[in-house]
Structure 1
Amino acid sequence: MSGRTIEHSVWIGIDLGTQSVRAMAVGEDGEVLGAAGRPLAAHRDGPRHEQDPEEWWRALAAATREALRDVPPSRVAGVAVAATSGTILLTDAHGRPLTPALMYDDRRAGAERANEAGAAAWERLGYRRMQPNWALPKLLWLLRGAPAGVRLAHQSDFVNRRLVGHEVATDLSNALKTGVDLIEERWPVEVLDLVPAEVLPGVVRPGTRLGVVCEDAHRQTGIPAGTPVIAGTTDGCAAQLGAGAQRVGSWNSVLGTTLVLKGVTKELLHDPLGVVYSHRAPDGSWLPGGASSTGAGVLTRDLPGRDLGLLSVRAEGRYGGWPALGEGRLRAQAGHLPALLPPAVTYPLVSRGERFPFDAPDAETFTLGEPSDDVERYVAILLGAAFVERLCFDYLGLLGAPMDGEIVLTGGATKSAYWTQLRADVLGRPVTLRENAEPALGMAVLAGGDPSRMIRTRAVVEPSGADLREPYLRFVGELERRGWLPGRVANHARERTTR
């Protein structure tokens, strides 16, 4: 980690997201001394998703000014920015935007040219192929007819340049989807002869000092001039840093609208399905992970207008505290505990198609069993998401990833104690909850903070002993029967569940 280390230091973490900018000033003990956010507008039309880069800067400046309102300037020791992965634009030589920003999920470009040129490189890097929404396909698309002298800027590059007042290198994490060679930590010129060399920025590891805040940026943002600006990372990696999942074998599972898993391995994982890709950590280890298309977003779609908090309470009353199946039936006969297991499970796809733990563009939501009311429909969705999470871990284990470390749960789903207990039961592992796991906190840590002091544990939830193996294996079998889940993966999940 970089940045000044002085007594009573404060680090600034900035999360430049899709819908908003979040700035946070964090002290050495993890206390949030100031935080603020500003919304961002987006322009969507089918596969098109754009934002105005200038709005990023205006929103960032307003958020940091508010977050630092009560922080003495002398205490500010560093700043780092997280950004959405795969969001890019073209600028001129002075950093002024020449195009709108193409956001992380803009799919107007095709990946054929990038994959044809880089097949061997992408195979070596473990993810096998690029997707149309990755940054390199979008860069090739933007460069058609572009004037001479243009520069590529990732979302974080654009604001970091404004902070320091001169050209900056990009970080390896944000450059992953642009095709950077994470093993040799350079642009693969044998592939990127598709792109003029002068278009590409230099590359550095996250945590590298890029420069210091310039006077002009100080006037606009309130960040003291001379504050070290540290190369950040993508928002997913920032969340992982904020969760404290930084040791080999530890994992961060983020369950919000969709499910994202990220962990730490010593060696680079190679995935034959191409659904897992790895970032590079500041210390040189690897951060493998994947993003599923399943998640809590299905709750608002399938249960519109319902009080989800009330449904959670009712679900816990009906199914909570379930013990192992055999014991549960005996104790229920005595009227002590509910013996019911959920009668249904839903595969909760937020949109058509799955991307992790398998690649199935035609996958669609289904329900096994017949929910009779809203409580059963609610529990079916929660259980399905927990099963997908378990299957993700099963697949990562098949690839050789270590699984012996801490599992940290973050995201909106952790607000439900019932869902958290259910996930611990399905995983058969203790799960850890943090007091604060925002990406902005992860960036404050990367800027120079001590994670052992700044990251606080809220609770550790132990599995209750519930036996959910049989419904999980039925769920796995159905995914295989429909042709979405490869047999090798399904068989490994069965072996890991029954051993």
Structure 2
Amino acid sequence: MPDDFFGGLDFGTSGARISIINFKKELKYTNSVSYQYGFKNPNSWINSCEKLLDNLPLDIKKNIVNLAISGTSGTLTACTLRGDPIGEAIPYDQACNENKILIESITVGEDHLQTPYSSLAKALKLIDKFGENIILRHQSDLITGWFLKDWTYGEEGNNIKLGWSLIKESWPKSYLKTSWQKCLPLIIKSGKILGQIDTDLAERFKLNKKILLVSGTTDSNAAFLAAGLGDEEGLTVLGTTIVVKKINKTPIKEKGITTHRVSNKWICGGASNAGCGILSQFFSDLEIKELSRQINPSKNTSLNLLPLNSRGERFPVNNPFLEPILSPRPVSDSLFLHALFEGLARIELKGWEKLYELTGSLPKRIVTTGGGSKNPQWRAIRERIINIPIISCKKTTSFGTALLAINAK
């Protein structure tokens, strides 16, 4: 009898990846594709999903039983009531300053929502642009709805930045008085079975018609699941942006900090606007690999760069007007890359110092995932600057999403 398979799809900044595991949690298949139209275009996400489904081996297609989706936290898009995307999505790292006074008036005591990077700020901007006869969905929830052909639902973790309270399990009371509350999703806990795949979609891609869609999570929470962190370990995700997370006994509410509930544990952390994205602005992957070999990670460049991907920062400081510092640029490309690595490591250090300030403890070991985790020179520079042992986790975010699918209830 063939294996039952469990699928995880993860949608990032540059593309999407699928991982298929069996009941023993062994990876049986994985594949990734880049976005065709760019990150801000929601049709890129759907197009990438179609490519990944098309390329699945037939024996896997017929035996997937559960499927979960993860996506970037805080990337919000407007859709018609039938789930068709309208215009571009507003990405997680874009600040929306237009409705500052209104946001402060409806989020009294909710400091974490009073930032231009919140999904609430993005939601109000989209409503101003497209009106109230729309639905607002994050990346993961939009794709989950596409599989079901039902866009009713939103997963709790993806909607914290929109105002959902994990403790009260409700939207802020002030939202009840608004005319746009109808644009918000019906919230479901992560890991819950939502329903069966749309029949026409299953037929189109020759998939098992009884696949169950499972309420997903954010990309960094999926990375957390993949890493299998212990209570005294921390997680750094080195993707397009840097994310740091650790387990805490209680939730934290502060600008730039997000608290999630994963596997019945409180996970607090923050995401910078700096990360691998700045490296790819200057160098190809092959150039980074070759130039890294010329770096002596035990030495300090004495260059003090602030390598944000663009203007503005979310964490460890919350300042939408903060400018990157990318000069003076040395003649040597390897020295410049070395200095960028150091600048990114200092941002990560400040992130851990911020979490120490809020939680009273530092991790005894940092587990790293994401593309940047594969670079040994960067890892050595990070260990020198942060002064905490660092190990790399080879399991991908989509593997963590597949673990959600296997444990669905």
Are residues 1:190 and 2:174 paired? yes
Tell me, yes or no, if the aligned pair for 1:342 and 1:376 is still in contact at 8 Å.
no
Distance 1:427 1:28, change over 3 A: farther
- Which residue pairs with 1:22 in the alignment? 17
2:241 corresponds, among 247, 252, 258, to 258
Q: Distance in 1 between matches of 2:79 and 2:103?
A: 25
Report the counterpart of residue 228 of structure 2 in structure 1.
Answer: 244
Q: Which structure: larger Rg?
A: 1
2:48 pairs with 1:59: yes
2:219 to 235, 251, 262: 235
Q: CA deviation at 1:406?
A: 4.2
CA drift of 1:109 comes to 6.2
Q: Distance in 2 between matches of 1:420 and 1:18?
A: 22
Relative distance call for 1:208 and 1:182 in structure 2 (3 A) is same
Q: Does the Cα contact within 8 Å between 1:262 and 1:290 map onto a contact in 2?
A: yes
Q: Is the 8 A contact 2:301 2:338 kept in 1?
A: no
Q: Deviations over 1:56-88 (max 9, x none)?
A: 3343133123234342624x2311011222333
Does structure 1 residue 433 correspond to structure 2 residue 392? yes
Q: SS where residue 286 of structure 1 aligns?
A: strand
- What is the aligned-residue identity percentage? 25
Within-5 A mapping of 1:59-208: 59-71=48-60, 73-74=62-63, 76-107=64-95, 110-123=98-111, 127=112, 129-131=114-116, 133-144=117-128, 149-208=133-192
Q: Between Structure 1 and Structure 2, how many residues are aligned?
A: 406
Matched, 1:40 2:35: yes
Paired residue secondary structure (1:377):
helix
Determine the structure 1 residue equivalent to 2:260. Answer: 279
Question: Is the CA contact 1:12–1:23 (under 8 Å) kept in the aligned structure 2?
Answer: yes
Unmatched 5+ stretches in structure 1:
1-5, 44-48, 321-340, 451-499
Distance 2:57 2:101 in 1: 46
Which of 293, 306, 312 pairs up with 1:348? Answer: 306
Equivalent position of 1:446 in the other structure: 404
Residues 1:294 and 2:282 aligned together: no
Secondary structure of the residue aligned to 2:221 is helix
What do residues 114-151 of structure 1 show as CA deviations (whole Å, max 9, x unaligned)? 4222332423xxx26131x4322232233348567533
Could you list the structure 1 runs, at least 4 aligned residues long, displaced by more than 6 angstroms after superposition.
Answer: 303-306
> Which amino acid counterpart does residue 260 of structure 1 have in structure 2?
V
Report deviation, 1:296. Answer: 4.0
Once the two structures are overlaid, the 10-residue window that deviates more, 346-355 or 438-447, is: 346-355
Query: 2:235, 2:244 within 8 Å by CA — same for their partners in 1?
Result: yes
Aligned-pair CA distance for 1:251: 1.8
1:411 aligned partner: 370
Is it true that 1:365 corresponds to 2:325 in the alignment? yes
Structure 2 counterpart SS, 1:78 = strand
Contact 1:162 1:217 in 2 (8 A): no
Shift of 1:304: 8.2
The amino acid of 2:127's aligned partner reads L
Whole-Å separation in 2 of the counterparts to 1:298 and 1:86: 20
The CA deviation at 1:261 is 1.1
Structure 1: distance between partners of 2:284 and 2:129: 46
In structure 2, the CA distance between the partners of 1:122 and 1:7, relative to structure 1 (3 Å rule), is farther
Task: Say whether residues 1:387 and 2:349 are aligned partners.
Answer: no
Specify the alignment match of 2:336 in structure 1. Answer: 377
RMSD over aligned CA atoms reads 3.3
Q: 1:346 to 1:258 in 2, by over 3 A?
A: farther
1:427: Cα distance to partner?
2.8
